[in-house]
Chain A
């Protein structure tokens, strides 16, 4: 299993440009997540998808949109990039075995985004 994969690994954008970050998992997990990590900080949740066909906002959703294309794929789109969106973006997935059961999140390798 490849686990959670992300593309691209690194991207440079100019202010106002748009781009989509791709994420895929091959573990048949229901839930998927997008986080951002700024230098010296912990991760902050941007958006999540509890199951195929559903998405919802996390802690810092402004400036982003997401699409849960199918069970495997969850993409993050920046419509008009801003320097404040310079960060490392991590995708994660989680197997929710059922109510009351704790699950472990599996993270991808990250996408480093620089907005000039």
Chain B
């Protein structure tokens, strides 16, 4: 299975600032990479698919970039509601696999 490694494990950022979350795959994914947001007690919510395409209803503050085996989720103008755990998922090769998550704290 493809291993997805996310960094950092925890990120503390001030409101209004920008957060940059990284995701590295154990092999090339082309652009078959998704990002999810999960708040406590809730199911994951799809933010980005195809590495950079926002899912319906996702604010433009969320942007995805990267290709191959290295990807980035950038969240600009951070708000308190962005506090959550963020996961990346590859779906280039069966089975789709997820990273271990980055916890984003808004301090």
**A and B are interacting partners:** no
- Chain B residues with CB under 8 Å of chain A are none
Interface of A with B (CB < 8 Å)?
A: none
